[in-house]
Structures are given as C-alpha cells and as structure tokens.
Amino acid sequence: MKKIAVIALIIFISLSLVLIPSLNAETESTPYLKFCGANGTIFGTCHLLYTGKSTLLLDCGLFQEEGYPKREVDRRNRFLPFSPRDIDYIFVSHAHGDHLGRIPYLVRKGFSGKIYCTEATAEVAREMLRLLAWILSHDSQLYNLSHVEATIKHLVPCDYNRTYTLPDGLRFRFLEAGHIIGSAMVYLDFQEGGDDYSILFTGDIGNPASPLLRPQEIVEDVDYLICESTYGNRLHSDGAADMAKFKDIINDTTKNGGKVVIPCYVLARTQNILYYINKMIREGAFDRPFDVYVDSTYANKMTRIYRKNSNLFNDETRQEIRQRKPPLSFPALKGYTPQDRIIGPAVILAPSGMANVGSILTHLAAYLPDPNSAVIFVGYQPEGMLGRKILEGAASVKVGGKMVPVRAKSYYLSSFSGHADYKQIMKWLDNFKRIKEIFVVHGQPDSSRALAEYIESHTPFKAIVPKFLQKIYLK
C-alpha cells in the first residue's frame, strides 16, 4: 500500500508540474485591468491595463486626500502595487496633479517607457510637474526637479483624433474631454487570443457649461468604459444664477473699495474666471472700474498656454477672437508681484483652490478681517479645511499659523466646476449604443456608488465600483 501511495504521489506531483504552469500561462495571457488609485477617492488616479503583450498605465496621479496626516499621504504616494520597470508606457489624460503627479516618482524608480498625451497636455505638464517638484521639495521629497526634467524627455505629444499603432499592435487615439486645455479621453483597442478588445478611459469629463473649451466628444461603442464620478451624486447650481450672483458680489464689494478674493487652481479655474470677468466688463456689467490681479507665476504661465492653444477653444470663443475680443486679455488685468501693494477696489485670484497652501493664504490673512471685502469659493471645500470653516461662519480661523478674525463675507458658487455632474454624464452616456461594462472611479464612495446605481437603473449597461487594487479580467 505504501508503494502504491508513493507512486500516486509521484504521479500527482508530475501532473501538477505540467498542468499548473499551463493554467498560469492561460491566466496571464488574459487581458485585465487593475485599479491602483482613485477608488473611493478623487485623488491618485492610476489604472493598470495588461493587454496580454504589454503593461500600461492610464494616468498616475498624486494622492492628495485632505484630512489625512502628511505622513499617511506620503506613504500612499510611495506605495506602488507594480514595478515601474515593468510598465511599458503611460497614457496621460490631462495635466492636473492628481492624474500625472506621480509619474516622476515612477521615473525615479526605474520607469523608462514613453508617456503619450496630447500636445497641449505636454506643454502644461512641463510647467505643472516643475511646480509640483517645488511644492514637494518643501514637503515629502517624493521627487525633485531632476526627476521632472528626466520625465519630460519621455513625453510623446500626440494629435487629437488620430489613430496611433504601437509595435505590440495596441492602437490608441485621444478624444476631446472638455475638462482643461489639452484634456482627453483615451481610446484603446487591441487583439489578444483571437478576440478584440476596446477600452475608453474618460479621465475627467468636462462640464459642458464651462467656457472656452470644446465639449467632450461622442463615442458610440466600446467594450469597457472607465468613468469618473466626481459629481456622481450631485448637480451643479444654476449657471445663470451663479453668474448673476458673481456679478452682484463684485459690484457690492468694489463699490465700498473692498477686495474680492478668489481661491483658484492655477490650471483651468483661473482661466475660466478671467474669461467671465473679461466678458462682463465688455458687457458693462460692473458699476465701477477695478483692477484684477493673478498672484501666481504658474497660473500666468498656464494662461499663456491657453492663449497659444486657442485652436482648442469652442466655436463661440474662436468667434470672439475673430472679432478682436481676446478672451484672456483685457486692460484691467494687471501684473502682480508679492511686493506690490494693492490699492483701491480689486479682484484677486490666487492658488490654491482649496485655500490650504500657496499665496492665497497671504490674501486671506490680509482681507478676511475687512468687512468691506469678500471671498468667493469656486471649488469644493472639504470637511475640516480652512475654506469650509470660513463658509460655515467661523468667527476666526488659523491662517498660516496665526488666528485671523473673519469679518469679510464668503460665498460658494458650484457651477464653476470643471467636472460634469451626474445628469451631464448620463446625457453623454445616452450616445453609446453598446458597452459591456462600466467601471466607476474617481469619486468619494457615496458619489461613485450613486452614479453606478443610476447608470444601472437608467441604462441597459452594467456598472460596478472597483475596489482599490481589484483585478478584473476582461472577457
């Protein structure tokens, strides 16, 4: 009996050595997606796709979750569920830090492939990554300027709506996303094992009501859709009402000689606000003249990139340019340096949009105590952050380590968001004729879950919310 048992064991082991590698080989040749960021959060977008031949990333952004200790934020940014040396190439949807901000860290750790993006995104990325390197040099030291300069050499600028084919047979093209200058949805298709696969990654879907840029493009058929959900359970406030409120706040504040302080992201939000102010000045909407200042070297660089890429503007804006009405240049827009003293009524735009770092702190410290001044928040203010405390009516707040009384008025106008809300996303989805599965990402848990449920109850499409590090094989 013992001899028979030994023979049986030998046969089992022999079969295992033959069959197990075969099973693994079959599994590892099956394309899959692995969700490595922006799951249960709006930060750190990073999705890994294995095609059976190559491994690529769709974005690789910084985790910037507010409310976490800096040590935890740094730990999350350094955690990579893959080896950067194993990544063949990266596709970048747009140049916001939460979508490309970790790529220099990948280069530092050995990534040596190509980084594909639109031409305008490449222009913005060069400046944005240098800014991020400067910010991180005061904080986590995740990477430095030398890593950024090495990363820039890997950028491959591409045209919109042109199909490119890589040596492994993967085809891709960039489609307008309408979010910021150069932003794109990434369409991929490839063959593996005799099957065809197509994937569309939305990046961030633009708000159709935003000015300047073309709206997102229509796609009719795709096997798999990776869809953002920043506003998956929210609607923007009425745009016309917000514009009227914006005008009234500026008029009420400037007539008393006050300052209107607007915390603004350097990219897109600043340019949109300048467009609105310029248009209202041309239309005679303001009761008295005032100066406009942008206290940010990088925001002014981004504005120049916007002007240079006016071919990406929407029809209305390009018509204004033909009529000699430049959308981002006007006499009231003044140069500004930190040494300047602002005299008289003025509108001041400064980063950051969440009012937690940057030159905005100087202006909040100066003008929050002034009852004739006002602060307009044009972006979401997370719980517990300075902007939220001001909006909730705090009598005093800590700004730059010092307590400052709050006497200025404060307002929140949500229609300035550059993201589509859930109804706008659903309207865009109505154009699709076929989707096998939708993966809902880039949103807070309630937001992603709400959008997935809404999709399943209002469309014939299946939608799921992937968990962090979940691997899904593509059938």
DSSP state of 312: G
C-alpha to C-alpha distance for 65 and 209, rounded to whole angstroms:
27
Which CATH code for domain 239-416?
3.40.50.10890
pLDDT in tens, 143-192: 999 999 999 999 999 999 999 999 999 999 999 999 999 999 999 999 99
Query: Would the pTM of this model clear 0.75, i.e. be above it?
Result: yes
- Determine how many CB atoms are found less than 10 A away from the CB of residue 404: 19
- pLDDT for residue 66: 62
pLDDT in tens, 16-54: 443 333 333 345 789 999 999 999 999 999 999 999 999
Helix axes of 297-308 and 269-282: crossing angle, nearest 10 degrees? 70
What fold characterizes domain 31-234+418-473?
Metallo-beta-lactamase; Chain A (3.60.15)
pLDDT in tens, 300-337: 999 999 999 999 999 999 999 999 999 999 999 998 88
What are the residue ranges spanned by the domains of the chain? 31-234+418-473, 239-416
Who contacts 176 (Cβ-Cβ below 8 Å, separation ≥6)? 160, 183, 184, 185, 213, 214, 215, 216, 217, 312
The H-assigned helical ranges of 144-284 are 145-152, 239-254, 269-282
DSSP state of 72: H
Q: Answer whether residue 96 shows pLDDT above 90.
A: yes
Who contacts 361 (Cβ-Cβ below 8 Å, separation ≥6)? 355, 399, 400
